[in-house]
Amino acid sequence: MIIYFDSLTGNTKRFVEKVKKERPDWTIQKISSNLQINQKGHLITYTIGIGNIPISTTQFVKKNKDFLLSVSSTGNRNWGDNFGLAADKLSKHYNLPIAFKLELSGTNADVKSYIEILEKLGE
């Protein structure tokens, strides 16, 4: 299983590192706007501003959408309906299933739930 991630403040990175501790056989890879991938995997990004997608994530997805199996997003519940909205926007625009939304760097229960969801979605 491969998880591609984008992180600005470190919340997404901390979350995927927790996932990696639980599933050391999984690969996590930080994305960049010019990264070209050739293996299927799941994307997790962050929501910036009031429900916006980071530019680096948008550029990555445009180049690699055919290799993405799902999208997830971190966010802050203080934003109400805009919580994790990057996942919603990416899902709608690129026809990707939303796997998960989590607040900040997630809880241990979030890690467990995320792993279970990705296992069901597959590689």
In order along its 123 residues, the chain shows pLDDT tens digits of 999 999 988 889 999 999 999 999 999 999 998 899 999 999 999 988 888 899 999 999 999 999 999 999 988 887 778 788 999 999 999 999 999 998 888 889 999 999 999 999 877
Looking at residue 13, what is its pLDDT?
96
Domain locations in the chain as residue ranges: 2-121
Tell me the whole-structure pTM to 2 decimals.
Answer: 0.93
d(Cα 75, Cα 65) in Å, to the nearest integer?
A: 22
Domain 2-121 architecture: 3-Layer(aba) Sandwich (3.40)
Q: Sort residue 34 into left (φ over 0), alpha (ψ -120 to 50) or beta.
A: alpha
Looking up tokens 């109400």 gives 80
Name the helix (H) or strand (E) containing 62: helix 55-64
d(Cα 68, Cα 46) in Å, to the nearest integer?
A: 16
Looking at residue 33, what is its pLDDT?
84
Looking at residue 54, what is its pLDDT?
94
